[in-house]
């Protein structure tokens, strides 16, 4: 199963991560060769996330109907064609169409891999195998730094995408020929109802804004705007910035395993994944503010935190899985993914639009332009964090009210308070008093 199921789908997920983050390294060459401004560069990179988000719900239905082997291999052929077109593009329109093809082609990479694991691996091993898949797939972001920089010296960005096209075609054939086929599952007529149940659930809309605004922003920064910040704001040269991007990419790979392991150990102590996710969000906002306010810290420290937050899907997927029965979790994760990639598109393109409000000096935008662009995303994250923690503040208020009643009503032996399921998630399950 490792050789014929796990590794083939890991290869597809690896390519998805590589395509997602490759533009941050070639952005300078693209801008110079094809005269792209910041808005065009932001749109070119973010269109990947836009089409990726739009494909998630249909992809979930297709995976249920035809299985991951057929859907993933077919879509990777589309991604390979997009990579070939990107390498041969002569203007912005062709680049945009090619980038969109790549986004559609790898849009099933994560969901197909997760579905394949559920289909072929023992259920008690699914969580562990999922963590390994995300960790190994995130190595694509590692490859999109120093190794790709070395390859660019010999091939240029056009030759690089020609090579990526061949690798993507090979991955499609590997999945088609190596992965065993399964009988088509019976598709019920409840798909629309199930999707409606997800998008009308209050618990989903409590976690979704926070997950999308944080994870989508982390992806956006690492996939494009980290390199311009490091060179234009921090003053690093290309070699130093590439090295830092390489370390950040390792961070997102290690972060998947770290967060998954930490969530598992905290759960054994009665602390749910929601609490850990909120703590990660606070660290993320703090790291962004450290960059924006130019605090006297090594720039690698906040950027490493940002990269690790890009792997926090390990937590948000687990949280959403707890909200819904098993037959709904696949579509629930796909529904959350729509918001992740949709927000990533908004941040990437919106950052470029904001930067273009300032004139270019000495070949780059002023520091204040980056600060305003980054701060705009942080504002949304803080609002989402406030929305997420409202039930906890309500719970705190009720606990305070309980103790006040206990002090003022001496003859009261028992005081009852009601809590919602979200508030109950932060209580120790073994604490019988509640």
DSSP readout, 21-40?
HTHHHHHHHHHHHHT--HHH
The answer to whether 23 and 223 have CB atoms below 8 angstroms apart is yes
The answer to whether 344 and 216 have CB atoms below 8 angstroms apart is yes
- For 90-94, 230-234, 250-254, 305-309, which range has the lowest pLDDT when averaged over its residues? 250-254
The answer to whether 315 and 276 have CB atoms below 8 angstroms apart is yes
What CATH number labels 2-181+189-398?
Answer: 1.20.1250.20
Lookup: tokens for 395: 């719970």
pLDDT, residue 12, reads 93
Among the residues of 106-145, which ranges form H helices?
109-120, 126-137, 139-143
Label residue 271 by pLDDT band (50, 70, 90). Answer: confident
Q: DSSP characters for 274-333? A: HHHHHHHHHHHHHHHHHHHTT-SS-THHHHHHHHHHTTTHHHHHHHHHHHS-HHHHHHHH
pLDDT, residue 434, reads 42
* Structural domain boundaries in the chain: 2-181+189-398
pLDDT, residue 177, reads 92
Instruction: Round the average pLDDT of the chain to a whole number and report it.
Output: 84
The answer to whether 282 and 384 have CB atoms below 8 angstroms apart is no
Kind and range of the H or E run holding 73: helix 68-88
Q: In this predicted model, which residue has the larger pLDDT, 396 or 302?
A: 302
The answer to whether 385 and 278 have CB atoms below 8 angstroms apart is yes
Query: What are the Cα distances from residue 59, in Å, to 49, 114, 206, 258, 325?
Result: 15, 13, 25, 29, 20
pLDDT, residue 294, reads 94
Over residues 145-202, the pLDDT tens digits come to 788 888 888 888 999 999 999 999 999 999 999 988 765 544 444 455 566 778 888 9
> Coil, helix or strand for 354?
helix
The answer to whether 275 and 428 have CB atoms below 8 angstroms apart is no
Query: What are the Cα distances from residue 335, in Å, to 198, 320, 328?
Result: 8, 10, 10
Over residues 346-361, the pLDDT tens digits come to 998 899 899 999 998 8
Kind and range of the H or E run holding 248: helix 238-268
pLDDT, residue 160, reads 93
């Amino acid at each position: 199963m490792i050789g014929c199921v796990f590794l083939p789908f890991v290869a597809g997920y690896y390519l998805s991560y590589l395509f997602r983050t490759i533009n941050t390294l070639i952005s300078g060459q693209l801008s110079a060769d094809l005269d792209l401004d910041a808005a065009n560069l932001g749109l070119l990179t973010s269109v990947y996330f836009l089409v990726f988000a739009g494909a998630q719900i249909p992809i979930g239905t297709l995976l249920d109907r035809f299985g991951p082997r057929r859907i993933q291999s077919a879509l990777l052929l589309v991604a390979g064609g997009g990579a070939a077109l990107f390498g041969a593009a002569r203007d912005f329109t062709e680049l945009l169409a090619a980038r969109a093809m790549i986004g559609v082609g790898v849009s099933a990479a994560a969901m197909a891999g997760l579905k394949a694991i559920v289909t072929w691996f023992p259920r008690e091993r699914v969580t562990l195998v999922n963590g390994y898949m995300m960790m190994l797939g995130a190595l694509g972001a590692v490859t999109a730094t120093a190794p790709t920089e070395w390859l660019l010296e010999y091939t240029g960005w056009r030759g690089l995408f020609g090579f990526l096209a061949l690798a993507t075609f090979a991955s499609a054939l590997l999945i088609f020929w190596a992965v065993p086929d399964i009988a088509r599952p019976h598709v019920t007529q409840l798909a629309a109802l199930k999707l409606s149940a997800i998008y009308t659930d209050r618990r989903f809309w409590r976690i979704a804004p926070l997950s999308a605004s944080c994870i989508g922003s982390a992806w956006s920064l690492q996939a494009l705007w980290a390199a311009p910040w490091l060179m234009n704001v921090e003053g690093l040269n290309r070699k130093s910035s590439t090295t830092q991007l390489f370390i950040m990419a390792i961070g997102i790979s290690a972060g998947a395993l770290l967060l998954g392991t930490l969530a598992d150990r905290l759960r054994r102590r009665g602390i749910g994944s929601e609490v850990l996710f909120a703590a990660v969000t606070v660290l993320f906002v703090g790291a962004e503010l450290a960059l924006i306010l130019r605090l006297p810290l090594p720039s690698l420290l906040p950027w490493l935190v940002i990269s690790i937050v890009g792997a926090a899907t390990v937590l948000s997927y687990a949280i959403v899985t707890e909200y819904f029965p098993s037959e709904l979790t696949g579509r629930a994760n796909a529904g959350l993914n729509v918001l992740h990639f949709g927000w990533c598109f908004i941040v990437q393109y919106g950052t470029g639009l904001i930067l273009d409000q300032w004139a270019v000096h000495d070949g780059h935008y002023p520091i204040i332009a980056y600060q305003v662009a980054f701060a705009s995303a942080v504002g949304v994250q803080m609002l989402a964090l406030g929305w997420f923690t409202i039930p906890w503040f309500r719970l705190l208020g009720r606990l305070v009210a309980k103790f006040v009643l206990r002090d003022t009503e001496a003859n009261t032996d028992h005081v009852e308070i009601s809590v919602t399921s979200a508030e109950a998630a932060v209580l120790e399950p073994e604490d019988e008093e509640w």
